[in-house]
Amino acid sequence: MTIQWYPGHMAKATREVRELIKRVDVVVELADARIPQASRNPVLNDILSERPRVLALVKTDMADEAITKAWQQHFEQNGKAVVLMNAKHNQGSGKLIQEVNRLAQPKMQALQKKGIQNRSVRAMILGIPNVGKSTVINRLVGKNQAKTGNKPAVTQGNHWLKVSNQMDVLDTPGILWPKFEDPEVGYKLAITGAIKDERLDFQDVVLYLIRQLHDRYPDALKERYNLPELPSEGVELFEAIGRKRGCLIAGGDVDFDQAAEVILRDFRSQKLGPISLEKPNDGPI
């Protein structure tokens, strides 16, 4: 699958982050709990250098709870500070603030020794498009100061916002990277909405999703689409769901475009239940 998705504003945003990182004490990297590995921008490792970093797994209400816990353990065992967040219900915000303050302490103590008193901790919020940065920030500041939306590219610039007298956060646009080394990353980002739908071949993306759900959550497919048994082949399962949902064209054939939109909408609106598309033991991406 080829996705034309890397517009100029993302290249510009990447350059700006390289400059702005010099002004922050801690980075908060947001990752989608449904795809904790695929939703982490590998370019950030170079950009962020040695800056202390908190990994916030967001949208935990949409992910499989047991698998999310496994990811938390996996990342912590690899030395990362991890916070689980459900910004919709304001869960994890307090923990995130605590972690940011903890990681900022060495820098703040160094500033105090230089005679710089009462300087706020500065945190940068980073992540891919549509991962929920603005929603998280609004929970942190307690107001709807950051624009939110259920599609990529809602945040167009960089904005400093005050969490408290002791902390400021920088909202940044979502950033993707120029090339997917593994095509599965592209599929997962497309499924979860990190890439604009207008750039997608819905049938190709949803066929990948169907195969993943068949292997990982077959009971969810059976229940949602009233299928006593699931065809083993992806295209046949795709067709069976389309027929169950009445996605037909003249002559009784399945309208796969319409069926793809139905299935993708069901996934994103949690009609299939909490779903995770990656496990820590799936191997590197």
Token pair 């049938």 in the structure block, residue: 203
147 or 277: which leads in pLDDT = 277
- Do 13 and 173 touch, CB atoms closer than 8 A? yes
Task: Classify burial at 117, counting beta carbons within 10 Å of its beta carbon; exposed 0-12, middle 13-18, buried 19 or more.
Answer: exposed
pLDDT at 12 over 80: no
Give CA–CA dist 23/80, Å, rounded: 22
pTM of the model: 0.88
pLDDT tier at 6, thresholds 50, 70, 90: low
- Do 132 and 33 touch, CB atoms closer than 8 A? no
- The answer to the question of residue 69 being in a domain is yes
CA angle 218, 235, 199 (to 5 degrees): 100
Is 14 annotated in a binding site? The answer is no
Is 120 annotated in a binding site? The answer is no
Is 135 annotated in a binding site? The answer is yes
For residues 139 and 14, membership in a common domain is answered with yes
- The answer to the question of residue 222 being in a domain is yes
Tell me what the mean pLDDT of segment 260-270 comes to.
96
- Give start and end residues of each alpha helix (H) in 55-201: 65-77, 93-113, 133-141, 183-192
- The answer to the question of residue 195 being in a domain is no
pLDDT tier at 203, thresholds 50, 70, 90: very high
Is 49 annotated in a binding site? The answer is no
For residues 38 and 163, membership in a common domain is answered with yes
Instruction: Tell me what the pLDDT averaged over the chain comes to.
Output: 88
For residues 25 and 99, membership in a common domain is answered with yes
Kindly report the CATH number assigned to the domain that includes residue 33.
3.40.50.300
Q: Which of 126-130, 254-258, 264-268 has the lowest average pLDDT?
A: 126-130
Is 132 annotated in a binding site? The answer is yes
Give CA–CA dist 28/54, Å, rounded: 5
For residues 84 and 205, membership in a common domain is answered with no
What order of strands is seen across the sheet that includes strand 121-126?
81-84, 53-58, 26-32, 121-126, 167-171, 159-164
For residues 26 and 127, membership in a common domain is answered with yes
12 SS3 class: helix
Token pair 């592209």 in the structure block, residue: 186
Token pair 């695929």 in the structure block, residue: 38
- Do 176 and 189 touch, CB atoms closer than 8 A? yes
The phi and psi torsions of 77 (rounded to 5 degrees) equal -65, -20
Is 133 annotated in a binding site? The answer is yes
The phi and psi torsions of 255 (rounded to 5 degrees) equal -85, 95
Show the domain range for 251.
201-269
For residues 125 and 53, membership in a common domain is answered with yes
- Do 238 and 209 touch, CB atoms closer than 8 A? no
Ramachandran quadrant class, 238 (left: phi over 0; alpha: psi -120 to 50; beta: rest): alpha
The dihedral built from the CA positions of residue 175, 181, 185 and 189, taken in this order, carries a sign that is positive
Among 54, 52, 26, CA closest to 40 = 54
For residues 20 and 159, membership in a common domain is answered with yes
- The answer to the question of residue 128 being in a domain is yes
Tokens of 211: 């195969």
The pLDDT score that the predictor gives to residue 7 is 56
- The answer to the question of residue 236 being in a domain is yes
Give CA–CA dist 4/229, Å, rounded: 37
- The answer to the question of residue 192 being in a domain is no
- The answer to the question of residue 176 being in a domain is no
Cβ–Cβ contacts within 10 Å for residue 140, how many?
A: 26
For residues 149 and 210, membership in a common domain is answered with no
In the listed set 123, 147, 170, which residue is the last one of a domain according to the structure?
170
For residues 35 and 140, membership in a common domain is answered with yes
Q: What is the pLDDT of residues 27-84, one digit of tens each?
A: 999 999 999 999 998 888 888 878 899 999 999 999 999 999 999 999 999 999 999 9
